[in-house]
Amino acid sequence: MPLSLPFETTYLDLPDRFYTRQPATPVSDPQLIVFNHALAADLGLDTSDMTDAEAAAIFSGNALPDSATPFAQVYAGHQFGGFSPQLGDGRALHLGELDSPLGRIDIQLKGSGPTPYSRSGDGRAWVGPVLREYLMSCAMQALDIPTTKALAAVTTGDRILREQGPLPGAIVTRVAASHIRVGTFQFFAARGDVEALEKLTDYTIARHYPDAGGPLGLLEQVMAKQARLVALWMAHGFIHGVMNTDNVQIAGETIDYGPCAFMDTYHPDTVFSSIDHQGRYAYSNQAPITHWNLAQFATALIPVMPDQDRAIEDFTAVINRFPALFQSEWTRAFAPKLGLPATDEAAVLAQDLLDHMATAKADFTNTFADVHKTETTFPDWHKKWRAAAPDDALWLRHNPQVIPRTHKIEEAIQAATTGDYTPFHAMLAAVTDPFTKNDAYMQPPEPQEKVLQTFCGT
């Protein structure tokens, strides 16, 4: 095979109640939309002899390498606060793990067909969510925000029935440090399966946090990763949209780009998910929700501790440190956007600017990218900022000119449904070079272009 994928899948060393093995479901006519050659090179994969047809066959699941061991993972999760005791990969299939220059990674097909965890779904994806995930994950990588990564996207040749009618089917190939989630721990904790919890804890520590020293250290290190991740989201105006515990990845990467968006006009209560009627996952609520999700993770770990009463005290003490930890990470993420070191003064200036922006209905990205213009728009704030002696070089390095604006994503998706991928490729080039000015992608939407909601699922 032109592309060698030497999978060695350690997750399958865990008991079979962690997953279900199954072959990929064939598609009728796979065609390559895009392949991430730069990511392939980072993974140590030689794609020089791979044709588009061969890539489409592999990353549709039609022609998997012999080393692939396809399986779907099981997990549970709190979804909008309500606990679902069994979820799982309802539209995804793991091909296996690779040892790469980036470390051990999972490669997964998303939109690849039904699994035992699909419930009433068809397990498929249409081209819209596939292109959104590809654009968003590539943009996040270019912004140096921890994320799962997109390796390929293909059309399937099949039509997918959704509320809008029949739509072109597609599959995205996702690369992740792993797909272990808070909900993976919750699945076994809810069943009182202490043996499985112990095995999962040991596996997670060995794979991701080898110096954790045990469950308490694991909790501390996962909390640190999540605090940093969400602070970086917020520093770029990103709203995940569905921060359910099954969407909280233990390795600390952004995962599951469903109803997500980068804000245009700034307001702390902005919500994009079409089903988040209470604003649970609003921009300003992402830190409190992360705190809550981590508490669920701590609760799921308690059964593996020999002295559970003592563990409750110790784990509670760790969780109670989250607000201060997050505030520190928030300052560390926002201060350089003003060209300042991470101090209390910088944090106050950043929050004051956000307050001004909310009142003025200012564009999030463009305000930070053109912060010198606040001399006109927010003169009193500007004087305080200049008095703090900002470093322009530091400011420039931390403020993108281009983000994947939702109205431009929708334009690319609409074109793709007719078979025109030119807008998608043009936008991909822009969002993967985010610190270079590109007028076509820097403008906020006109009133008639605004997209106020994005949608869950594929």
Task: Give catalytic residue positions.
Answer: 246
Could you tell me whether strands 125-126 and 82-84 are parallel, antiparallel, or unpaired per DSSP bridges? unpaired
**Rounded-to-integer distance, Cα 236 and Cα 135, Å:** 16
Answer for the pair 415, 423: CB distance below 8 angstroms, yes or no: yes
Distance of CA 299 to the CA centre of its chain: 24
Query: In which residue are the tokens 């390095």 written?
Result: 397
**Residues 239, 231: contact at Cβ < 8 Å?**
no
Alpha-carbon distance of 142 to 145, in angstroms, equals 8
Number of Cβ within 10 Å of residue 385's Cβ equals: 23
Q: How far apart are CA 15 and CA 33, in angstroms?
A: 37
Are 61 and 24 in contact by the 8 Å Cβ rule? The answer is yes
Q: Which two tokens stand for residue 296?
A: 């669920």
**Is 83 within 8 Å of 252 (Cβ atoms)?**
no
Contact 325, 223 (CB under 8 A): yes
Amino acid (one-letter) located at 337? K
Instruction: Report the Cα–Cα distance between both ends of the chain, in Å, rounded.
Output: 30
Which pair of structure tokens corresponds to residue 391? Answer: 């470093």
Tokens standing for residue 9: 């899948």
- Give dist(CA 426, CA 428) in Å, integer: 5
- Measured from the Cβ of residue 264, the count of other Cβ atoms closer than 10 Å reads 23
Which residue shows structure tokens 């969407």? 247
Q: Which two tokens stand for residue 389?
A: 């002696």
**What's the rounded Cα separation, in Å, for the pair 375 and 83?**
49
Select from 228, 313, 222 the least CA-distant residue to 214: 222
**Cβ neighbours, 10 Å, residue 223:** 22
Tokens of residue 187, six digits = 């699945």
- Using CB atoms within 10 A of its CB, is residue 434 exposed (0-12), middle (13-18) or buried (19+)? buried
Which residues partner with 147 through β-bridges? 254
